[in-house]
Amino acid sequence: MPTLTKLYTMEEASQHNTKDDCWVVIDGKVYDVTPYLDEHPGGDDVVLAATGKDATDDFEDAGHSKSAKELMQNFCIGELDTSAPIIPELEIASRKETANYSRNLMDLTKQYWAVPVAIIGISVVAGFIYLRKK
């Protein structure tokens, strides 16, 4: 018989993102790691940076040991509700910003090239005038 666990949405889990109330989502499970923050070998900043998103990749990339994975089970409070939407607005916005960043930068440099050229031109002319008066 399957074990019944509480289901949480990603939105619910992402609201618990402070040192006093910290949840992380790893492999579809939700963990309340608040009591473990001070004991975490990598510091609490690493864990707090992983809140509000699926931290599975971050967890695996850190190379946690088997004992760390066993310890993590003590903090499991439920599972991620996969039927709920995963806040697509945040994901789409960040991808658009990354893709458009270089184009926006190029547009700005094309638009404002005249100001630095004018400053350099005025400086050169002023330098020649100053040297001729000597």
The percentage of residues in the chain with a pLDDT greater than 70, rounded to a whole number, is: 83
Rounded to two decimals, the pTM is: 0.58
Exposure class string for 53-90: b at 16+ Cβ within 10 A, else e: bbbeeebeeeeeeeeeeeebeebeebebbeeeeeeeee
Q: Are residues 13 and 40 in the same domain?
A: yes
| Lowest mean per-residue pLDDT among 1-10, 22-31, 59-68, 82-91 | 82-91
* Residue-number span of the structural domain to which 12 is assigned: 7-80
Determine contact, residues 23/33, Cβ cutoff 8 Å. yes
pLDDT at 118 over 50: yes
Are 97 and 72 within one domain? no
Q: Which of 3-12, 30-39, 119-128 has the highest mean pLDDT?
A: 119-128
The whole-number pLDDT of residue 1 equals 41
- Please tell me the least confidently modeled range out of 7-21, 45-59, 76-90: 76-90
Q: What is the count of structural domains for the chain? A: 2
State the CATH number of the domain containing residue 69.
Answer: 3.10.120.10
| The pLDDT value given to residue 120 | 93
Q: Is there a contact between 78 and 13 (Cβ–Cβ < 8 Å)? A: no
